[in-house]
Amino acid sequence: MTQLFLNIDPSLVDWSRAQFALTAMFHWIFVPITLGILFIIAIMETIYVKTGDEEWKRITKFWMKLFGINFAVGVATGLILEFEFGTNWSNYSWFVGDIFGAPLAIEGIMAFFMETIFIAVMFFGWNKVSKKFHLTATWLTALGANLSALWILVANAWMQYPAGMEFNPDTARNEMVNFWQVLFSPVAINKFLHTVTSGYTLASLFVIGVSSYFILRKRELLLAKRSIVIASVFGIISISALIFTGHGSAVEVSKHQPMKLAAMEGLYQGGENAEFIGIGILNPKKTFDNNEDPFLFKIGFKGVLSYLINFDTKTFIPGINDLVYGNPERGVPSFEERKMKGTLAMNSLIKYKEAKEIGNMEEANLQLEILKANFNHIGYSYVEKPEDIIPHVPMIFYSFHIMVFLGFLFVLIFLVYGWLTLKNKIDKIKWGKPLYILGIISIPLAFIATEAGWIVAEVGRQPWIIQDLMTVGAGVTKISSTAVQTTFWIFSFIFTALLITEVSIMIKFIKQGPSNSAIK
């Protein structure tokens, strides 16, 4: 079985990864706006229903129009993403379909249906249903979109921390034994909250950015200011929760994916009083097996990483070398040790099947015990060299630090915009122009930050498709890499065309501004 997977063409794995990454990254351009702007719209519409002020209806309808353009493309890329589990990752889907399928099915049946049903009322129900019914539909669309995110993120979290399952040696599949453990896994809950709040932050910056354009052009000032008030309040609350859940995610990563945490901080030699790197340039010559300094330049804070993980500077944080060579004093097993256990688990699975086939139940039970004892390392049987368990450190390190840096810049943007708008000075300050331009630029910056976050999460868990249980190479569908290359370029072309179309339509609608005929 191991040999079968090792025979897979590495370029097939790379192209399949590239195709999935491409689809996921394009999908994630459209989703976060949807997640956040729906709640902003719902808040605006609630104010309209409560006050009866028609200007609020006009504001609500304007943002709803921008949301609508974005939503359609988000659905298109999302569907392709889900199909790729079958087309490109069929070995993975077969191995864990009994677990992974459940949250995906709930997402489709419950959340997505809920979202799509009420979105119809939201768009076409103005003046056809009562104000309160329409408002309910808007809130339910927002809830549906976010619940949809919950289920797909539960599925993703399971890949990072497989919980609530048992391996069935007869079918060689993992089966769900505890649904609640899958749903309420701490990794899943943190991931959900961190991801949706990143969407809320991005949507708030989107509203601020578009409103800045209006202020810059001295148009639609009341709409722009009211929108900024809502977006800066929503944004500051969201980003506070984002920082809080980001910390929670890092704590979970330290427990279940220590290699990812080490890569995030470029930490090769672990220890107590571990340093948090504020700014750093990695040494490109550094590898796990040489003595080069990991950094060419750094500004670090001693003990902060240990403190952040466990509120104690004495907390030991394993580095890349600890995880490769092991650290017996700290109970960190080496790669060789885990590979030995993984190979033992894989061999015992083969022997179990052979013994069962000839009816030797005593031998089968013995092999089953060995398999169970070593199952948590089974993925290591696919890995050949120690360096294969180390993800791409520079990509993770820089992505993580860009995300954190931008996150703090966004806090400042929300505070400055919020304060100046509350004081009604936003369109009157002398240094307004650079501020409005910063507001507009914050839209692409928010996309960079959120995509960087996903790079940390997904590149950081390489080589695993399921942490410690299955490598990405073992999960791939064995098809010709040329076929995957072909679809990769087709998808690249289609997605780019979709993105250009969406951005052009959005810019056109933004330039057009809210329609006065919206008030009916």
Partner 1 sequence: MEYLKEIISLGMWPVLIYIAYRLSLLALKYFHKNLEKTEKL
Site of interaction with partner 1 (CB under 8 A): 39, 43, 46-47, 146, 180, 184-186, 188-190, 192-193, 196-197, 225-226, 229-230, 232-234, 237-238, 241, 248, 418, 421-424, 428
**Pick 407 or 418: Cβ nearer partner 1:** 418
How near is the Cβ of 158 to partner 1 at its closest, in Å?
A: 14
Q: How many CB atoms lie within 10 A of CB 126?
A: 16
Locate 130 and state its tokens: 């009562």
How near is the Cβ of 409 to partner 1 at its closest, in Å?
A: 21
* CB proximity list for 191: less than 8 A, separation 6 or greater: 153, 156, 157, 160, 249, 457
Buried b (16+ CB within 10 A) or exposed e, 5-34: beebeeebbbbbbebbebbbbbbbbbbbbb
**Pick 118 or 491: Cβ nearer partner 1:** 118
**Pick 184 or 408: Cβ nearer partner 1:** 184
Q: Which residue has the tokens 């995610």?
A: 249
**Pick 40 or 455: Cβ nearer partner 1:** 40
How near is the Cβ of 237 to partner 1 at its closest, in Å?
A: 5
Locate 457 and state its tokens: 């999460």
**Pick 70 or 190: Cβ nearer partner 1:** 190
For residue 172, give Cα distances in angstroms to 40, 263, 278, 371, 465.
47, 32, 45, 12, 16
How near is the Cβ of 424 to partner 1 at its closest, in Å?
A: 4
How near is the Cβ of 50 to partner 1 at its closest, in Å?
A: 9
How near is the Cβ of 249 to partner 1 at its closest, in Å?
A: 12
How near is the Cβ of 78 to partner 1 at its closest, in Å?
A: 21
**Pick 385 or 428: Cβ nearer partner 1:** 428
3-state helix, strand and coil shares in percent for the chain, rounded to the nearest 5? 75, 5, 20
Is 216 in contact with 516 (CB distance < 8 Å)? no
Rounded to 10 degrees, the C-alpha dihedral 431/436/438/443 comes to 170
**Pick 240 or 492: Cβ nearer partner 1:** 240
Angle in degrees, 0-180, between the axes of helices 186-216 and 10-51, rounded to the nearest 10: 60
For residue 328, give Cα distances in angstroms to 312, 318, 492.
22, 12, 47
